[in-house]
């Protein structure tokens, strides 16, 4: 496959423009350096050790992952500083974390005493200690303790034998619903400030908080500049997608991941169908406002409907599609697209340069 032109690829295929990828990696690394924070990219976006190596070479300080299984894959690939940025619960996972903790510098998210206790047991039994970061909800309303409960939960977690409270972390996922760039930036500042305030309350209660970790792609640039923030964990920025363009996080030309598909049917002048459906593009909606399931690059048309193997394009006035032609589609959400494929095709200058193995794909436990 190496050296092939894009027209020689069998479709549907997921392409990663390596030049755009490296530019995105360098840009975020530069922002983190300028802000004086450590960058711990979230590897759930790409799940590819090859991409994580590029992030490390650009100055990333460890990786974030969502699952214990992902942490195991990246440990096997030689990454030695991992944060499972998720409230991990379960003694089975605790036992795997004990084994992982022998190989890497490790930390895990917690947001309840009950959940943390399921990890403390295996670490205490093994005579080891696990670093944990308390998740604080700065407004997203998903997981995490509200700031007013941070001290009570933080203290109780810190008292559990087998655990050490290293810091606090958050993810301002509600930034994805902000209607304007100014709205995203407000959420970003709040993300940093509310987390910094929680860290300060915990310190005032006598808990030595070392890490104050923020992070999402839309909020990263602003949130990392809040004083007291020590670490940032964006994930999607390596690829970007139609959602980031809609939010004003990036320009179209900053999107590295696209899908090449073939038009397999043009049953009506206002309808064309490609061989990329929800099993290729995912059925994630565009955010912050609905807008189909992918943008056909170079055309005004969008994918309006999906079934598993069909992407139905609503043909915009002036656009024409022919059976057999190839189109490039910008997906709504690049992270889930990467997760649907075993391999991503790394391209540069219109030719295949490398094949990226999505090694941590499917490691959901």
- The footprint of ligand PLP (CB under 6 A) covers 42, 45, 64, 85, 171, 215-217, 233-237, 335
Least distance CB 215 / ligand PLP (angstroms): 5
Least distance CB 209 / ligand PLP (angstroms): 18
Residue closer to ligand PLP by CB (options 45, 295) is 45
CA 253, CA 8: separation in Å to the nearest integer? 23
Closest alpha carbon to 72 in 44, 46, 104: 104
CA 298, CA 176: separation in Å to the nearest integer? 25
Residue closer to ligand PLP by CB (options 216, 280) is 216
Least distance CB 232 / ligand PLP (angstroms): 9
Do the Cβ atoms of 32 and 52 come closer than 8 Å? Answer: no
Residue closer to ligand PLP by CB (options 72, 241) is 241
Least distance CB 175 / ligand PLP (angstroms): 8
Query: How many residues appear in the chain?
Result: 365
Residues 99-134 as b or e (16 or more Cβ within 10 Å = b): ebbeebebbbbbbbbebbbbbbebbbebeeebbbbb
Residue closer to ligand PLP by CB (options 84, 117) is 84
Residue closer to ligand PLP by CB (options 211, 296) is 211
Task: Give the list of residues 6+ apart from residue 246 with CB closer than 8 angstroms, or none.
Answer: 286, 287, 288, 289, 291
CA 186 distance to own-chain centroid: 21
Least distance CB 107 / ligand PLP (angstroms): 13
Residue closer to ligand PLP by CB (options 221, 276) is 221
Strand order, beta sheet including 211-214: 38-39, 231-232, 211-214, 163-169, 130-135, 105-110, 81-87, 63-65
CA 47, CA 363: separation in Å to the nearest integer? 10
CA 251, CA 244: separation in Å to the nearest integer? 8
CA 326, CA 261: separation in Å to the nearest integer? 6
Least distance CB 86 / ligand PLP (angstroms): 7
Closest alpha carbon to 84 in 151, 130, 150: 130
Residue closer to ligand PLP by CB (options 67, 315) is 67
Least distance CB 118 / ligand PLP (angstroms): 19
């Amino acid at each position: 496959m190496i050296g092939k032109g894009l027209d020689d690829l069998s479709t549907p295929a997921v392409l990663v423009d390596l030049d755009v990828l490296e530019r995105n990696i360098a840009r975020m690394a530069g922002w983190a350096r300028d802000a004086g924070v450590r960058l711990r990219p979230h590897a759930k976006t790409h799940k590819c050790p090859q991409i994580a190596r590029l992030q490390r070479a650009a100055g990333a300080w460890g990786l974030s992952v969502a699952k214990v299984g992902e942490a195991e894959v990246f440990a096997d690939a030689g990454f030695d500083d991992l944060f499972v940025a998720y409230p991990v619960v379960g003694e089975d996972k605790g036992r795997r974390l004990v084994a992982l903790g022998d190989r890497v510098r490790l930390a895990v998210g917690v947001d309840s005493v009950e959940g943390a206790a399921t990890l403390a047991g295996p670490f205490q039994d093994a005579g080891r200690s696990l670093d944990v970061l308390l998740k604080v909800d700065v407004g997203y309303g998903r997981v995490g303790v509200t700031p007013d409960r941070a001290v009570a939960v933080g203290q109780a977690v810190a008292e559990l034998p087998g655990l050490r409270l290293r810091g606090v972390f958050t993810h301002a996922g509600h930034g994805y619903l902000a209607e304007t760039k100014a709205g995203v930036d407000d959420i970003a500042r709040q993300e940093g400030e509310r987390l910094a305030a929680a860290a300060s309350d915990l310190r005032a209660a006598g808990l030595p908080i070392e890490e104050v970790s923020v992070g999402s792609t839309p909020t990263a640039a602003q949130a990392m500049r809040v004083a007291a923030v020590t670490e940032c964990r964006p994930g999607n920025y390596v690829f970007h997608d139609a959602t980031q363009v809609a939010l004003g996080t990036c320009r179209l030309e900053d999107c590295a991941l696209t899908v090449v598909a073939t038009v397999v049917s043009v049953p009506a002048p206002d309808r064309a169908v490609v061989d990329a459906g929800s099993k290729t593009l995912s059925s994630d909606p565009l955010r912050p406002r609905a807008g189909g399931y992918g943008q056909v690059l170079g055309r005004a048309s969008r994918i309006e409907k999906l079934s598993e193997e069909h992407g139905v394009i609503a043909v915009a006035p002036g656009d024409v599609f022919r059976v057999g032609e190839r189109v490039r589609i910008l997906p709504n959400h690049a992270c889930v697209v990467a997760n649907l494929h075993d391999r991503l095709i790394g391209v540069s200058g219109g030719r295949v340069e490398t094949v990226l193995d999505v090694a941590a794909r499917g490691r959901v436990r």
